[in-house]
Amino acid sequence: MAVEDSLPTLRRLADLAELLIPGAVVYVRYSPGPEADAEHPSTDHESGLEMPGVSVNPLNAPGWWSLPVEDWLARRIVQYAHQQAEGARPWVLTGKEVDFGPDNEPLLVDVEPIAWISDELVREAHERYHSRLDAGRATHED
C-alpha cells in the first residue's frame, strides 16, 4: 500500500487544530502528494534553480496570535488554496527545515506525511477566513 493511501483525511479545522502540540511544528503543502514530491525536487519557478527541500507553510500560530487557532489555520490553508486548480492537493506534514525558499517559506527534508486535507476543510477555511478576518485588506491604505 502506498503511503498516500494510508494517510487519514482531515475534514474539519478542529481536526487540524488537534495536530498542533507544543514543541512540534507541522506544515501544510499543496502538491500532487508525498510520493510525487519524493520523485521530483522542488524548483524555484522564476530562476529554474533546484531547491534543497520541499516548500511548506507552518501551521503553528505565532506567539502574538491571540485569536482562536482555527482562525490562524483558516488563514494558512486559504493562502495557497488556488493551487488546487493546478492539480495540487493540500496535505499536512512534518520534517527537518534546511533552508528557505524565495517567498521566505521553510524548505523541508526528511518529510513525514501526516494527513490529507479534505475539500470540505478547505471550504470551511474559506468561510471562516472571510467571515472572521478582514481578508484581502491592504497593508498600506490611504
Domain membership flag for residue 87: yes
Contact 26, 18 (CB under 8 A): no
Domain that holds residue 107: 3-132
Q: Using CA atoms, how far apart are residues 10 and 28, in angstroms rounded to an integer?
A: 12
Domain membership flag for residue 138: no
Confidence of residue 15 (pLDDT cuts 50, 70, 90): very high
Domain membership flag for residue 137: no
Domain membership flag for residue 73: yes
Domain membership flag for residue 71: yes
Which residue in the block uniquely carries the three cell numbers 516548500? 55
Domain membership flag for residue 141: no
Domain membership flag for residue 119: yes
Which whole number is the average pLDDT over 12-28? 93
Any bridge partners for residue 97, and if so which? 108
Which residues are CB-contacts of 107 (< 8 A; sequence separation ≥ 6)? Answer: 42, 51, 52, 53, 54, 55, 56, 97, 98, 99, 100, 101
pLDDT tens per residue, range 64-96: 999 999 999 999 999 888 888 888 899 999 999
Domain membership flag for residue 139: no
Query: Considering only CA atoms, which of 51, 14, 2, 46 is closest in space to residue 29?
Result: 51
Q: How many domains does the chain have?
A: 1
Q: Using CA atoms, how far apart are residues 53 and 42, in angstroms rounded to an integer?
A: 6
